[in-house]
Structure 1
Amino acid sequence: MRVLVLGATGNLGSRLLPALIAHGHQTVAFVRTASKVPATISHKLTAIVTGDAKSQADIETALLEHNCDAVVNTAGYAATAPWGKSDLPEIFQATLNAAVEVRRVRKKPLRAWLLGGFGMLDTPNPQYTIFDYIRVKPEHRINLDKLLKVPQSDLIWSYLCPAVMQPLTAAPSYPPDPKISADNMLVTARTPPEWSSKFYGVPLIGGYLNVLSQARNYTTSLEDNADFIAKDLEKGMASEWAYKKVGVREKK
């Protein structure tokens, strides 16, 4: 696929570039400053586009001018505190708007991977998410609500909901280290992989105990997540993760 990566010099985006190239994708990096793209990878990219990730027009232009089939948004970081504010909701909305407009122009939808937060995954009781018990990064809830309002015919999306992602190396490399692989992770839709229902039956506080006793076990690597996205995009529009919240966990 021809893939536009928003936030291509960030922690996840910079590792996604070599992963996409390794999986045979034509890769377009969308950045604020082109000089920040490392020389070790820049010459392997299909294009480097400078623009504002908060601008629907900039994203839309990049998608259309470079004939992209897919977009991955890794730009922006959600504010942790309930009262905090970040650029992420604006970036997320601009991405959705641009993708829907491209669908209108082309008469066919884009494939999209969008980055959410661990709190958006469901608990054993699907009426409640992890966020309902640990109320951090509420902007992800705002973004998910926006995403769910987009008609499925307008965008073939997947919503990655990792917990903490740590780098395996100080800087990304090309080609990626052979140890990096999506196969290092367990992946499930809707709920975190291997999530137990322990403590859930405890009156009043069972849900809190259930979440607090397990959430710390879901740290994954930036590199493995990048490889997972790149590998999935090889399936084109026929991914089993389409229209799903996706949870990940490193294998034990």
Structure 2
Amino acid sequence: MQGLWLTLVFGLLLPGCANEKFRDQVEQTRTQAVDAAGTSADQPTEKDAAEATASMPADVTESTADGESSPMPKPIFADCETTPDRPIVGDLYQLHPDTKALPDFKKMKAIKKICLSQLDIKTRNFSEGFPGVEKLFEWFALDMRFAVNVPRSGKWEFKLVADDGAILYLDQDKLVDNDGQHETREKTGRSNLSAGVHNFRVSYFQGPRYNIALELYWKGPQDTEFTYIPATSMIRPDASLASGME
């Protein structure tokens, strides 16, 4: 717009210039002014760059200063065969609509195995489904197993947050019961544990769409607050536990 305005102004000046040398000077000045205006108009300002960054969707891969792309967030649920580093192995089941509580998995057949890195799913919308079962985002259950290397002996407290129902078993004993169809809710339980490896099982089900939540925290002797169980302390279970055997 600025270049167009300058072109019009100098276009009015040139016909009235009787002196040929002066006309050449005006023409040169016009050309330089228009070129400068066009260059500045084409260059994005710092404000333009900031506004463009702010409007970029959060799920778009961004480039770093050296031109490399930053990694996209990992999916919550993954195929176990392709993610051997994920310690939590779960059997995925489809439920009948209007299921009110966790079912008896011994009477059911699992669809497939799903693996997770951590039970840190805060309340969120879930509509993407599972690998190979993309349309399953409501009325499903996961029966998950993993082992944990407890660093020291003493009384440990656990907090289980879920939407809908979930139950925590520790070495086959039910420790925290947060079952039932409900919005995000937390329940806690305590257990005296010896240092070393212990077997964990978390059974979870999702009722009607869309929100899900599943978080497991622990607090050890002398700890002042709950934290997620560190990934370095979690171990993928052996074949017998992963297959659902007690």
TM-score if structure 1 supplies the norm length? 0.23
- Rg larger in structure: 2
Q: Where is the strand percentage greater, Structure 1 or Structure 2? A: 2
Select the structure that is richer in helix.
1
Which one scores higher on RCO, CA 8 angstroms, separation ≥ 6? 1
> TM-score of the superposition, structure 2-length normalised?
0.23
